Amino acid sequence: MSTAHEITYRCPYCGRDFTITVYDSVNAVTDPDLRERCISGDLFRHSCPHCKTDFMIQNPLVYSDPSRKFLLWLSNEEASEDLCRMAQPLVKQGYTLRRCGTLQEFTEKIQIFEDGISDIVVELAKYDSFIEFIDTRNGNPEEVTSVEYQKCEDGVMKINVRTDDKGLSFLIPTAMLEEEVRVQSDRYEADNSHFPRINSDWLISLFTETAGEA
């Protein structure tokens, strides 16, 4: 089940206090409506009753999907030892555990795991799309504002590379990337027990270590 509590929050715009409800955990199976609110961002969107200003609050949250066996820890901080210990039985059951530092990462991870694909494979596809954008489309790396996973159908991922004024989509077959991860399993290993944060920085760090620049 999902859990929540109330806190007193001071509006960053008018400086007045009011009470809001923040969720500590969301179970996507027992509370599908909260799953929808996570994906849309509405779970983190609040409105000041005094000045009527809307704003986002990214509070720490444990998001679980028992049907697909994944658990996400939304936080800017590393998972505590207590949380890691609590998660050990889930690791033994084959759960994928991840930490998400931003709401964008969080919603993307939900989509990735619901699509039944490895987020490590997705990060490789995003990296390849970025390189292709730079190399073959005469793109400027500084123009890229984000590289986003959209969906995966019939073994093909759609990756969007966005800039301020335009965006390009790339279709990336998963088979070769999945094989690369399988063959180089030691290189791409992620320790589920400590909620690894698998993103572009993580992937680049692997390439940097391989090049002897760590």
Residue 167's pLDDT band (cuts 50, 70, 90): confident
Go through the chain and tell me how many residues it has.
214
Query: String of b and e for 177-207 (b: at least 16 CB within 10 Å)?
Result: bbeebeeeeeebebebebbbbbbeeebeebe
Q: Write the pLDDT tens digit of every residue in 118-131.
A: 999 999 999 999 99
Is 213 exposed, middle or buried (CB count within 10 Å of its CB: 0-12, 13-18, 19+)?
exposed
CA dist., res. 62 & res. 23, Å (int) = 9
CA dist., res. 31 & res. 46, Å (int) = 20
CA dist., res. 47 & res. 28, Å (int) = 24
- Which pLDDT score, from 0 to 100, does residue 211 have? 55
**What's the whole-model pTM score?**
0.91
Pairing verdict, β 17-27 and 61-65: parallel
Is 58 exposed, middle or buried (CB count within 10 Å of its CB: 0-12, 13-18, 19+)?
middle
- Per-residue pLDDT for 139 more than 80? no
Q: What is the DSSP letter of 86?
A: H
Q: Write the pLDDT tens digit of every residue in 52-61.
A: 999 999 999 9
- Which pLDDT score, from 0 to 100, does residue 174 have? 95
